Amino acid sequence: MIAVVTGGGSGIGSAVTDRLRKAGADVVVWDLNGGDIDCDISDPASVAAAIDKTVADHGPPDRLVACAGIGASGLLLEQAPSDWQRVIDTNLTGTWLTMRATARAMVDAGSGGSIVAVSSISGTLADRDMGAYCVSKAGIDMLVRVAATEWGPHGIRVNAVGPGVTRTPMLGRVEQLPGWVEGLTERTALGRLGQADDVAETIIAVLEMSWVTGQTVFADGGLALHSPIDAYGQMQRLMARGGRQ
């Protein structure tokens, strides 16, 4: 197995890389920091150079995990167009460029393969102050469905994995907000924040599912199951506060 992992220098990508290498795969990490090949996924020329070097040095890949992406915040009425474009260029267009380059190598080799792109539950749920990020991840969900339809005849499966809140460098300082982690833990069915390896485990599983394509699988511990209406939860919180008085 020859696998390309974008964004494999840290976070979820690094956890995926570790799991693949332990399983004996020849893994090529494309990243701007800590990768085997320096690659800016938002730049078509950089992606083209990365796939050319990968094929020349390792052979055509039969697996791709597209993890590279950036976080962002900004209210829709206030965000600068340049900031919006930077998020879309990296998360959505960059994922498309990466998928297209590796799929072309798979088609040319006649080998088929499997692609998993990292989406997010924020591609389905609306998060205030994260409009560009939400839109970019929603785009990935549709991208994998169209790609699965177009590339299926070539034996290429294409899916997405949507993490919930995961402890990675991208999470940053928001984890330090008073009560934030506690609130998320309460709303998550499995009762904790996710770790990078939790998501990597799901990605590896989906990567090898031979009869699954065009799907987005949430790896969120059940966070997206929780309705914001939650009258029961509010009642429980009020009772808990009353008991502490």
Which residues are known to be catalytic?
Answer: 133
What one-character DSSP code corresponds to residue 130? B
Closest to 41 measured CA to CA, from 109, 101, 112, 104: 101
Neighbours of 187 (CB within 10 A): 20
- Which strands, in side-by-side order, build the sheet including 26-30? 26-30, 2-6, 63-66, 113-118, 156-163, 216-219
Instruction: Report the distance separating Cα 154 and Cα 9, nearest Å.
Output: 30
Q: How far is CA 92 from CA 82, 140, 146, 233, in A?
A: 15, 6, 14, 35
Please say whether the beta carbons of 116 and 143 come within 8 A: no
